[in-house]
Amino acid sequence: MYKISFMQEKAVVAMRKIRKAFPGVLALQDVDFTLRKGEIHALMGENGAGKSTLIKVLTGVYPKDFGQIYIDGTDKAATIKSPQEAQALGISPVYQEITLCPNLTVAENMFIGRGAYRFVNWGAMRKKAKDILDNLGIPARPAQQLANCSLAVQQMVAIARAIDMDCKALILDEPTSSLDDHEVAKLFTLMRGLKDRGVGIVFVTHFLEQVYEVCDRITVLRNGALIGEYDSNNLPRVELVSKMMGKELGDLSKIDRRETGLDFEGEPVYEAKGISSAAGVRPFNFQIRQGEVNGFTGLLGSGRSESVRAIFGADRITGGIVRVNGRKVKISKPIDAMKNGIGYLPEDRKNDGIIADLSVRDNIILALQVMKGFFRPFAKAQAQAFADEYIKALNIKTASADTPIKSLSGGNQQKVVLARWLLTHPMYLILDEPTRGIDIAVKVEIQKLVLKLAEEGMSITFISSELEEMLRTCSRLIVMRDRHVVGELKGDDMTQDKIMHTIAGGAAENG
């Protein structure tokens, strides 16, 4: 039996020799992980490294095959067979995909599952919820339906629920992926306050800057194995990336920034004048020429995603004129855009991108099948040929084309959705957060692919929450605030300072 010393760093959680296998995959190979009292500890690794599996073993979602888990520095191994048992031990997870109930109120979501529902003191519950929300600075009302809150506020309500349940170990799985800079700062203030009170925090993120801003230590996993545990101050960023990938890799800035002084000639392949939508996008003008990569940027809720949804017809267009290759067209629904050579990779991969229970092959051919018509299905051999071509071209890691897409890592799911649109050979491709929540290696692959497609003549609109990524990839940026276009930047004006100044002080265009 593997033994642990009682004095081992007074660990809130100590996981030793954890092993977990799935059919054909050894997901965790004798992994050790230690979370100390009053620290923020980053759990890092590429997609498929084993981070999620380790967290699910700790929280009782998956049974471990071997190993021990010790809580609060004791030398007696804990048995965690369910999330409820983990919660009783003070282990509270907040996952990237919000698991609250949108049809219930904020207060009900914060206290659901605690006590008999029919004996709830509703007034007391709402008062306590208000105290917690006010204390954390969360802009939500206890009686407000959660569905009416922004995604960012829903995320913070989930965190508020977790930390109110007497947690000793708070697990945050990509908590900042839907938050703007102001909300990230607020969350970090909250995390530091919890740290000062002795709470141990596991922080899972793909944002390297955030790791070095807030974390005390870093544990790196790769291919299910422990690579090492490090003090943040003693691990340079380039070394962290190298350890995650298993090979030498410089900073992401090694991707050559696209020449931003280019003047794209010729008629626009897509042009909109005064376009607005039912999602609240104010009338704006927009155009893109062949081979151009441009982007919409702005804070969370600025309207960048809503703008491209209007371009694609995913939201109802309420005004404006659209021309494709100089010809006036009507795009009132996505199929209209698709028939005019426009593709769209949506922001929400889980709900709007993949069809989880379908195979990789069926997900790849989906858009082309829609254009052809479902009553004229592709022969299986042809569908297989399409899938094989793009699995190879995009280096999609899957056992076969028959594998359900839900079994793939997030980065490989994103590649499948990208393959779906490339198969339609669009002249204009919209990519909304194509690198969110995926590992560094796949980020690099997608950025390079975007530039390669542009060099081959495809027009691309690229949206990312990471300004550095936008600056490396785009030759022109449309800046938004409050669903208005407030500026357009190119050339020497494309800097982080200029973007933030434009967001803060630009005057709205187009009314």
pLDDT tens-digit readout, 351-397: 788 888 889 999 999 988 888 888 888 888 999 999 999 898 888 88
C-alpha distances (whole Å) from 62 to each of 19, 53, 54, 57, 494 are: 11, 8, 9, 5, 47
Which residues are within 8 A (CB) of 167 and not within 5 positions of it... i.e. 6 or more apart?
A: 90, 91, 92, 199
Stretches in the chain below the pLDDT threshold 50: 1-8, 249-255, 257, 259-261, 506-511
Give the DSSP H/E element, type plus range, for residue 391. Answer: helix 380-393
- Strands across the sheet containing 484-490: 342-345, 428-432, 459-463, 293-297, 476-481, 484-490
Contact by Cβ (8 Å): 263, 475: no
Q: Which two tokens stand for residue 380?
A: 């299986």
Q: Which two tokens stand for residue 483?
A: 């669903």
327-329 vs 317-324, strand pairing mode: antiparallel
Coil, strand or helix at 322? strand
The 10 Å CB-count burial string (b at 16+, else e) for 460-477 is bbbbbbbbebbbbbbbbb
Backbone angles phi, psi at 204, to 5 degrees: -105, 125
Whole-angstrom Cα distance, residue 348 to residue 434? 10
66-71 vs 200-204, strand pairing mode: unpaired
Q: Is 110 exposed, middle or buried (0-12, 13-18, 19+ CB in 10 A)?
A: buried
DSSP state of 351: I
C-alpha distances (whole Å) from 474 to each of 164, 172, 288 are: 43, 31, 12
Given this model, what pLDDT does residue 117 score? 54
Given this model, what pLDDT does residue 431 score? 93
Given this model, what pLDDT does residue 264 score? 66
Contact by Cβ (8 Å): 359, 403: yes
Q: pTM of the entire structure?
A: 0.57
The 10 Å CB-count burial string (b at 16+, else e) for 386-416 is bbeebbeebebebeebebbbeebbbbbbbbb
Given this model, what pLDDT does residue 301 score? 62
- Helix ranges (DSSP H) in 402-490: 410-422, 440-455, 467-473
Q: Which residue has the tokens 């009686």?
A: 143
Q: Nearest-CA neighbor of 64 among 77, 48, 49, 45?
A: 77
Given this model, what pLDDT does residue 69 score? 96
CB atoms within 10 A of CB 376: 7
Whole-angstrom Cα distance, residue 226 to residue 238? 18
Given this model, what pLDDT does residue 6 score? 37
